[in-house]
Amino acid sequence: MSEAPKERCGYTWPEDFDHESATIPKSQNCCCRESLTDTNRCAWHAKIDETDEKTVNTLENSRVPEEIRTDTRLYNELLDGATLEGYDLRDIGSMAGVTLRDANLADATLAETDLTGSNIRNSDLTDADLYKVNLTDSTLNEAKLIHTDLREANLTKATLPNVDFTDSDLAGANLTDVNLREADLINTDLRNVDFTDASLYNADLTKSDLFNQDFPGTDFRKADFTNADLYKTDFTDANPHEANFTDANLHGANFSKSDLRGADFTDTRLTDADLSGADIKIATFSGCDIRDTDLQNTDLRWCTFSNLDINVGTKFGEQSAAESAANSAKNWDDIARTHHALKIACNENGLINKARKQHYLERRARGFETKASTNLSPLVTPSWLGSIASRYLIGYGVRVRTLAVWMVFLFLASTLVYINFGVEESIIANVSYSVRAFTVAPPRAPVARIPHIVMMIETFFGTLSIVLLGYVLGNREQF
Half-sphere exposure of 39 (CA within 13 A, CB side): 19
pTM assigned to the model: 0.81
Q: Which residues contact 195 (CB under 8 A, 6 or more apart)?
A: 175, 176, 178, 213, 215, 216, 218, 238
How much is the pLDDT for 478?
73
Model confidence at 460, pLDDT cuts 50, 70, 90, reads very high
Share of the chain above pLDDT 70, in %: 94
Q: Is the pLDDT of residue 124 over 60?
A: yes
How much is the pLDDT for 393?
83
Average pLDDT of 226-255?
97
In tens, the pLDDT along 187-227 reads 999 999 999 999 999 999 999 999 999 999 999 999 999 99
* More confident call, 385 vs 344: 344
Q: Please state which of the ranges 50-54, 144-148, 182-186, 397-401 shows the lowest mean pLDDT.
A: 397-401
Q: Is the pLDDT of residue 20 over 70?
A: no
Average pLDDT of 300-308?
95
Please name which of 214, 219, 245 lies closest in space to residue 232, comparing C-alpha atoms: 214
In tens, the pLDDT along 259-274 reads 999 999 999 999 999 9
Q: Is the pLDDT of residue 126 over 80?
A: yes
How much is the pLDDT for 23?
53
Model confidence at 399, pLDDT cuts 50, 70, 90, reads confident
Average pLDDT of 168-194?
97
How much is the pLDDT for 6?
77
Average pLDDT of 233-247?
96
* More confident call, 303 vs 68: 303
* Mean pLDDT computed over every residue of the chain: 91
Average pLDDT of 335-340?
96
Average pLDDT of 275-301?
95
How much is the pLDDT for 440?
83
Model confidence at 17, pLDDT cuts 50, 70, 90, reads low
How much is the pLDDT for 365?
92
Task: Give yes or no for a cis peptide into 451 (omega within 30° of 0).
Answer: no
Whether the CA torsion 46, 52, 54, 58 is positive or negative: it is negative
How much is the pLDDT for 321?
85
Average pLDDT of 443-468?
91
Q: Please state which of the ranges 96-100, 263-267, 375-379, 471-475 shows the lowest mean pLDDT.
A: 375-379
Is residue 264 within 8 Å of 284, Cβ to Cβ?
yes
Q: Please state which of the ranges 119-128, 170-179, 246-255, 444-453 shows the lowest mean pLDDT.
A: 444-453
Highest mean pLDDT among 63-67, 403-407, 441-445: 403-407
How much is the pLDDT for 1?
46
Please name which of 101, 117, 115 lies closest in space to residue 27, comparing C-alpha atoms: 101
How much is the pLDDT for 443?
80
Please name which of 320, 319, 313, 257 lies closest in space to residue 290, comparing C-alpha atoms: 313
Q: Give, to the nearest 10 degrees, the angle between helix 382-394 and helix 352-372.
A: 150
Please state, in angstroms and rounded to a whole number, the distance separating the CA atoms of residues 435 and 439: 6
CA-based angle 18:82:179, to the nearest 5? 85
Please state, in angstroms and rounded to a whole number, the distance separating the CA atoms of residues 252 and 268: 12
Q: Which residues contact 177 (CB under 8 A, 6 or more apart)?
A: 156, 157, 196, 197, 198
Model confidence at 385, pLDDT cuts 50, 70, 90, reads confident
